[in-house]
Amino acid sequence: MKPGELLRVRVAFGALGAVPIFLAGWLGWLQVAQAGTVKRRSGEPLPLIAKTADRQGWRVETVPAPRGTVVDRNGFTLAADCATYEVRARITVPIKCRRDLTKFRPWVQRIVDGFALALVADPDTPNRAAVHKKQRARLAKVIAKAWSIDKLPETGKWPEKHSQVAEFLVSTGVDRLRVIDALRGYHMSDDYPTIVLDFLHSYRRVYPERELTHGIVGHINSFEIKQPKGGVRLQTYGMSGLESFKVLEPREGTTRRFLADGRRRPYFVAPVHDAIDVVQLHSTLDIELQRAAVRELTAMCEKGLRNNPKKKAKWGALVLIELQTGDVLASASWHRDSKYAEGSSFTPYQNRFEPGSIVKPLVLSYANEVGAINWDQTFDCSPRGGTYRERIRSLGRRVVDDHACGELSAHGILLNSSNIGAAYVGLELSREQWQDYMRAYGFGRSLGLNLPSESIGGNHPKSFDPKTPLRRFRRDSAISFSFGYELTTTALQVARAYTRMFQGLGAELRMVRGVEVDGDWHDVPVKQDTGPHYRPEVVDAVRQAMVDVVSNDPHATGHYLHAAMLKELNVDLHGIIGGKTGTAASSVGVGGGRKISARNASFVGFTPTENPRYLAVCVLQKDDSASFYGGSYAAPPAVKLLLQCQDLAERGQLRQERRSKLGGQTQLSPWRVAPSRAAPVGEGLRTPGSQGWSGPVGAGVPSETR
Amino acid sequence: MRWLIAGLFFALAISLMIATAAIRAQNVAERRAIQKIYDAVQDRDKELLRLGFEGLESASPERLAQLHREWLERELERREESFR
């Protein structure tokens, strides 16, 4: 090698060797000599290290947790979460618009039109034209506000201090594929490179049988209310029914990490960190019976009084209970003057009424149990008899029956629904016993179901005032309590009272069978057969009297019902349905200190008569003083419901099994369904979209699966 | 000879650098494609859930009865038309 060549080689290799030395020196300079921190906007220090640089590319998307699913006793979904997107836009004004403001407003208008069209991209969108018009107007308003367009000059260049970036909500609840695709088409597209759309995970609450379950399953939404003078007001009714239960409050969600490239385009790293386990609340409702209850109650109320649709009841309530468990199988509500079911009270536990004669079996059973009466003894129930004068008129009180009754046994008092007879029985009870009666049957006490805005009712505040003389208590309260006056209650409280008579005084109603949280079943215990029990002969005597009430005996208050059902359904109810009719006339406060006279028609019925298993309570209230009888108006819906319940039970469709696995249309996680947790084919209903989902659902499901 | 070896090592170093960069770029491109598929799956999952619940609602006895009634009315009208 020549000396010149050797020199060149040394220079070349020396240069190559200098590169790593330079890099190492640079690294040392940056990482050691220049290492330090800068302050973030929040004031926190940001270390200037390589890890920080790596982190700049990391992104995290939050996946919120759903509220959970509410299912009926057969696994049919009553409320669930439907995964949707909340789409937010972050748009920077492009340079051509910043240079020439005359191009800006047409550019904005194109975005508004484009987004509005994208939001109705699905031709199946209901009221598509109206929705498009509404979205277009809303987006124009939102974008104008986001860029403060009214403060921008018409021409010239973009003002330096005016923000170039607008961030706004494009839409919530986006779950139509064509809409999603159309919106994704705008995300950093070639035509609109400065538009960045974020698709945030969200949920929309869905209720597959909404019309049937407004009150009992409840709602969490807000509703637009049209104002009489025009305009719309957003009314949030808050949570009600089962939706108000704490277990359905959304829990902590999960996250998914991804990376972003230099152009902020996301790229995949991993799926969601942890699958979200959906809480499943198993209610005691049976959707088929709920459907029947709503249908029967609505039919009776809409038919109007004496078949006159212009004369309708003010409100109605119908509930169905399974006596052995206290399970509320169905619970229906009806209002005459309500346009929005969401905003109306749910009558079975929120509307109070004076129960009238339906409490007589409760009074007589209590009096018989405590030995205040002998079931076989007779009472002279004639208003002209000496007993009446001596025991009732002497107190200064008048009690009347709607038909003349003579000598009646306790059985006869119930059969004839004699107020005078019931008053005799009531006068046999002491003030303390009446207090015990209220306590035993739960009048004036919460149902304990944790339902919001529950009406408690109960006796008049002065009924048991120690300052009230005993004679006045006997004259006013004891006699009134005997036939269901001076006392307000709700349909579900009446159902509980009867459940206690049949199943023990510790019995309670149940609206939730259990909750599945993280795959663990948490049972809600049955409280039947707890507390003191009435003697079997006491319950049997009352039961037999109630069976005879629904017969063709001309003195029985249920004879009209018996005849009507024989004619309408060709069913002889005697021996099939037992029950008690009730009618009460009372004054009801309507606010502002005003009171109106109201009449309540009520009925309590049970089946089978030998060993009662199902109990129905129906109440209708009307706001005038015209005649209105429980046997004519309240009894038919309750009886029809009981007959359907019996029919379903005979077909084996009323089953109640504890579910150890998830069922219903509940999705475990919309992002990652654990295969081992998914319900196997053939068991219950499916997750929408899962295998077998296209099979029959609801009423069409064969009896083995319902 | 040693010049040849040095040149080969240099070429190898450059090739490794280019290959590494290419693989990393390919990795990002593949991940970006996966992300698109992932997003598409998410979108379809939402559509599927919506259709599932809509199907459930449209298959309710009330809705089916309404559809049946509408169909019967149309059929009645059609027959009356053909009768005339």
The total number of structural domains that make up chain A: 3
User: Are both A464 and A517 inside the same structural domain?
Assistant: yes
Q: A178-229, pLDDT tens digit by residue?
A: 999 999 999 888 889 999 999 999 998 888 888 888 888 887 765 666 777 7
Cβ contact A182:A135 at 8 Å: no
Q: Is residue A216 part of a domain?
A: no
Q: A439-471, pLDDT tens digit by residue?
A: 999 999 999 998 888 999 999 888 899 888 999
Q: Measured between CB atoms, does B39 come within 8 Å of chain A?
A: yes
User: Are both A626 and A677 inside the same structural domain?
Assistant: no
User: Are both A200 and A306 inside the same structural domain?
Assistant: no
Q: Is residue A450 part of a domain?
A: yes
Average pLDDT over residues A156-172: 92
Q: Is the Cα dihedral B24, B29, B35, B37 positive or negative?
A: negative
User: Are both A84 and A180 inside the same structural domain?
Assistant: yes
User: Are both A627 and A703 inside the same structural domain?
Assistant: no
A684 in the Ramachandran plot: left (φ > 0), alpha (ψ -120 to 50) or beta? left
Chain A CB contacts of B46 below 8 Å: 82-85, 175, 177, 180, 670
Domain that holds residue A683: 673-706
Q: Strand locations in A9-68, DSSP E?
A: 37-39, 45-47, 58-63
Chain A CB contacts of B49 below 8 Å: 82-83, 175, 667, 670, 688-689
Shortest CA gap B79–chain A (Å): 30
Q: A340-393, pLDDT tens digit by residue?
A: 666 778 899 999 999 999 999 999 999 999 999 999 999 999 888 888 999 999
Cβ contact A484:A360 at 8 Å: yes
C-alpha A672/C-alpha A162 separation (Å) is 44
Q: What pLDDT was estimated at residue A237?
A: 54
Q: Is the pLDDT of residue A24 over 80?
A: yes
The domain boundary residue, chosen from A171, A206, A241 = A206
Q: Which two tokens stand for residue A555?
A: 């003195």
pLDDT band at A236 (very low <50, low <70, confident <90, very high): low
Q: Is residue A56 part of a domain?
A: no
What's the distance, CA A677 to chain centroid?
26
Alpha carbons within 13 A on the beta-carbon side of A470: 6
This model of the complex carries an ipTM of: 0.80
Cβ contact A13:A7 at 8 Å: no
| Pick from A674, A704, A680, A684: nearest CA to A277 | A674
CATH number, domain of A558, equals 3.40.710.10
Q: What pLDDT was estimated at residue A303?
A: 85
Q: Tally A–B CB contacts below 8 A.
A: 91
User: Are both A623 and A689 inside the same structural domain?
Assistant: no
Nearest to A258 among B35, B42, B56 (CB): B35
Q: Measured between CB atoms, does B25 come within 8 Å of chain A?
A: no
User: Are both A640 and A679 inside the same structural domain?
Assistant: no
Q: Do B49 and A667 touch (CB under 8 A)?
A: yes
The domain boundary residue, chosen from A155, A188, A206 = A206
Q: Is residue A540 part of a domain?
A: yes
User: Are both A489 and A398 inside the same structural domain?
Assistant: yes
Q: Do B56 and A184 touch (CB under 8 A)?
A: no
Mutation choice for A interface testing from B14, B34, B50, B64 by most A CBs within 10 A:
B50
Q: Rounded to 5 degrees, what angle do the CA atoms A275, A278, A284 make?
A: 165
Q: Is residue A4 part of a domain?
A: no
Cβ contact A676:A668 at 8 Å: no
Q: Measured between CB atoms, does B5 come within 8 Å of chain A?
A: no
User: Are both A538 and A646 inside the same structural domain?
Assistant: yes
Q: Is residue A10 part of a domain?
A: no
Q: What pLDDT was estimated at residue A662?
A: 34
Q: A491-543, pLDDT tens digit by residue?
A: 999 999 999 999 999 999 999 999 998 888 999 988 877 889 999 999 999 99
Chain B CB contacts of A179 below 8 Å: none
Amino acid at A365: S
Q: Do A689 and B34 touch (CB under 8 A)?
A: no
User: Are both A495 and A625 inside the same structural domain?
Assistant: yes
The domain boundary residue, chosen from A176, A206, A236 = A206
User: Are both A616 and A696 inside the same structural domain?
Assistant: no
User: Are both A182 and A292 inside the same structural domain?
Assistant: no
Q: Is residue A522 part of a domain?
A: yes
The pTM score is 0.80
By three-state DSSP, how is residue A84 classified? strand
Mutation choice for B interface testing from A59, A178, A206 by most B CBs within 10 A:
A206
Q: What pLDDT was estimated at residue A669?
A: 36
Q: Is residue A32 part of a domain?
A: no
